Each structure stands twice: as structure tokens, then as C-alpha cells.
Structure 1
Amino acid sequence: MISSSQIRAGRALLGWSALDLAIHSSVGVASIRRYEVQDGVPSSNAKTLHALKVCLEEAGVEFTGDPLVNPGVVLHLK
């Protein structure tokens, strides 16, 4: 699981717009924007959140902490 704030932070660290993340993850840009305004773990199906998580991880983002209590991200430059 990842939280909305982790999605926003990961995208920001990469310098990606919501459209960039949508293109890389095959998740609709409207869905990404909707998830990012929610608190905590976005209400979505697990497959969609997994696609976002994998996409950001492949780009170098590491998710740290508990997404509900102390969500964090770290960028590992390649």
C-alpha cells in the first residue's frame, strides 16, 4: 500500500506531472489527481495502486514508513 502523500511526493521528486505518471503507469490522469487529493491510502482497487507503486519504484522512488502513520519517500538516483 502507498498513501496519497507518497504518490504526490514521489512524483514531485521525479519532477513528473500527473500526466507523466499517467503515461508511465497506464493509470488515468483523472484517477491520479483524484487519489492525490484524498487523505491516507486512496480508495482504489489494489491493482491500480500497485501499478502506481511499481512505476514510481522503477523510476527510483523508495517508499518508507507506514503509509497510514508516517509515510515517506526517498529518491535513489540511477
Structure 2
Amino acid sequence: MITAAQLRAARALLGIDQKVLAERSGLSVPTVQRMESREGVIRGNVDSLMKLVGALDAAGIELIGEGTISQGGGRGVRLRAPVVKEPDSGNSGAVEG
């Protein structure tokens, strides 16, 4: 599975535009645009997704699923889950005296 955000990030890491990715994957530019415009996991034709993932893999992109460890070397990015902060109770713990 690949998300639209992963697809946009992968393309940015490779420094390629949608046209180049379309050419490398054998897809049309509108198909790549449609995939990138979605939120969350990209859904669609399995053959198209396999072509897309294959082209990214051939270019050196490692897709990292949620909660999995990357075994590969090299540079990359990963979106961390947001840290939920505890509400401030107004008590800093300082003692007046």
C-alpha cells in the first residue's frame, strides 16, 4: 500500500515531476495526478499501482509502512505520529516561600 503523501514525498526525493514518473511507470500523467490528489491510501487499478510502486522501487525508493522498520540505508523521510501534549494545569511546580 502507498499513500498519496508517500507518493508526493517519493517524487520530491527523486527530484522528478509527475510527467517523468508517468513515463517511468508507464502510466498517464492524469493517472499520476489523480493518485497524488487523494487523501490517505491510494486506491485503484492493481496493475497501475504495481507499475507505480515498481517504478519507485527501480528508482531507489523504499516505501515504509506504518510501524515498520526500514532495513535499507540511505536518506529518507518519515512522518511521525503527532505528539499529544498534556493540558497545562497552570501549576509549574514552583514553591513560593
Q: What TM-score results when the alignment is normalised by the length of structure 1?
A: 0.80
Going from structure 1 to structure 2, the CA distance change for 1:62 and 1:43 (only over 3 Å counts) comes to: same
Q: Where do 5+ consecutive residues of structure 2 fail to align? A: 76-97
Task: Provide the identity percentage.
Answer: 36
Over alpha carbons, which structure has the higher Rg? 2
Bigger relative contact order, structure 1 or 2 (CA pairs below 8 A, ≥6 apart): 1
Residue 61 of structure 1, CA deviation: 0.3
Q: Cα RMSD over matched residues?
A: 2.3
Query: Following TM superposition, where does structure 1 have runs of at least 4 consecutive aligned residues deviating by more than 4 angstroms?
Result: 74-77
Aligned residues: 72
Match of 2:90 in 1: none
Q: Which has the higher helix share?
A: 1
Q: What residue ranges of structure 1 are gaps of 5+ in the alignment?
A: none
Partner of 2:33: 33
Change (3 A) 1:47 1:76: farther
Task: Give the TM-score normalised by the residue count of structure 2.
Answer: 0.66
Higher strand proportion: 1
